[in-house]
Structure 1
Amino acid sequence: MSALTIVPWVIGNWKMNPTGENVQTWTEQFNQLLQQQPISNESCHLAVAPTFIALSQVQHAFSQYNRTVHTVAQDVSRFPATGAYTGEVSADLLKDSHIQHVLIGHSERRELLGDHSEILRAKLTNALNAGLTVIYCVGESLTQRENGQAEQVVLQQVQDIASVVAPDQWASNIVIAYEPIWAIGTGKTASAADAQAIHEKIREGLSQITDSSAKVAILYGGSVKPENAKEFAACPDVNGALVGGASLNAESFYHIAAAFAQSN
Structure 2
Amino acid sequence: MSGSAITPWVVGNWKMNPMQAGAKQLVQELKQLLLDQPIEESKCHMAVAPVALALQSVQAQLQDSSRSVCTVAQDLSRIAGTGAYTGEISAELLKDSGIDFALVGHSERREIFGDSPAVINEKVKNALNAGLTVIYCVGESLQQRESGQAEQTVLQQICDIAPAVQAGQWQSIIVAYEPVWAIGTGKTASPADAQAMHAKIREGLSQITPAGQNMAILYGGSVKPENAVELAACPDINGALVGGASLNAVSFHKIAQAFANTK
Task: Tell me which residue corresponds to 2:240.
Answer: 241
TM-score, structure 2 as length reference? 0.99
Cα pair 2:2 2:214 within 8 Å, conserved:
no
The answer to whether 1:52 aligns with 2:46 is no
Task: Tell me which residue corresponds to 1:254.
Answer: 253
Distance 1:260 1:175 in 2: 16
TM-score, structure 1 as length reference? 0.98
Distance 2:206 2:94 in 1: 31
Matches within 5 A, 1:132-147: 132-147=132-147
Task: Tell me which residue corresponds to 1:174.
Answer: 173
Matches within 5 A, 1:4-153: 5-153=5-153
Aligned residue pair count: 263
Q: What 5-or-longer segments of structure 1 have no aligned partner?
A: none
Distance 1:26 1:236 in 2: 31
Instruction: Specify the SS of the correspondent of 2:46.
Output: strand
Instruction: Specify the SS of the correspondent of 1:208.
Output: helix
1:139-177 Cα shifts (integer Å, max 9, x gaps): 000000000000000000000001111222212x10000
State the Cα distance separating 1:2 from its structure 2 match.
4.7
Instruction: Specify the SS of the correspondent of 1:109.
Output: helix
Task: Tell me which residue corresponds to 1:187.
Answer: 186
Distance 1:25 1:204 in 2: 41
The residue type equivalent to 1:200 in the other structure is: A
Distance 2:170 2:178 in 1: 19
Q: What 5-or-longer segments of structure 2 have no aligned partner?
A: none
What stretches of structure 1 move > 6 A for 4+ residues in a row?
A: none
The residue type equivalent to 1:256 in the other structure is: I
1:68-93 Cα shifts (integer Å, max 9, x gaps): 10000000100000011111000000
The residue type equivalent to 1:50 in the other structure is: P
Instruction: Specify the SS of the correspondent of 1:212.
Output: helix
The residue type equivalent to 1:257 in the other structure is: A
Identity percentage over the alignment?
64
Cα pair 2:4 2:238 within 8 Å, conserved:
no
Distance 1:20 1:3 in 2: 37
The residue type equivalent to 1:132 in the other structure is: L
Change (3 A) 1:2 1:197: farther
